[in-house]
Each structure stands twice: as structure tokens, then as C-alpha cells.
Amino acid sequence: MKLIYAIVRYDNEDEVITALTKKHFSVTKLATTGGFLKKGNTTLLIGTEEEHVQEVIDIVKHECGSRQKITVNMPYISGSAMLNSATMPMTVEVGGATIFVIDVERYEKI
């Protein structure tokens, strides 16, 4: 048994969840926040057998599309030299998804 964490953009969550549930995967959605941009994103938890992990990743990849470049403000870091660059634009790559696959030691439904 594996547990897949998929961090996806908020805009993609409906399509990903719909596609996964259509294929009978169980999904739990968590409202999360990226530490760098401090913007909301969505973390999906999907527990499945090892032989289905690639199928889940393929579905997430298909629904989330490719990475995009966006320009954002530098994060505000209080008391640091970065204070003056709070309005300075910078480009970061976002989109697609960040996926972690973890071994599950024990799985029970009681």
C-alpha cells in the first residue's frame, strides 16, 4: 500500500478529483498553503496499491497540465535586508504538480 501526496494548483483540483474518483480512487482533499508564495493550493491524499501508483500519477499529470512561469513579489521577510525588495518582481515556475509517494506501514478501516 502506498500513500500519494499530490500538491496541485487550486484551479486544477476539481478536474483532478473528478478524474480520480471516476477511476474509483479514494481521495482526501486538504486546503494547504505554499510556504514560498503564501498562496492557497490543494493537497490530495490518495491511498492505493503499488500497481496503481503510476495510473494515479498519469491522471494528475494529465489534469494539471504543464508548469507555467509567473511573476510574483518577493516574500516579505521582517527585519531582513529583503524588506526593500518586497515589491520587486521575480519569476517562479508553478503548475503541474508536486507528488510524493510514501510507503504505508499499516492501513485499517475500523
**DSSP at 80:** S
Among 22-30, 34-42, 57-65, 76-84, which window interacts with ligand 2BA (CB under 6 A)? 34-42
Per-residue x/- track, 41-80, ligand 2BA (CB under 6 A): x---------------------------------------
Distances (CA, A) of 67 to 18, 87, 95: 21, 24, 4
Rounded Cα–Cα distance for residues 63 and 55 (Å): 12
**Interface with ligand 2BA (CB under 6 A):** 7, 34-37, 39, 41, 92-94, 98
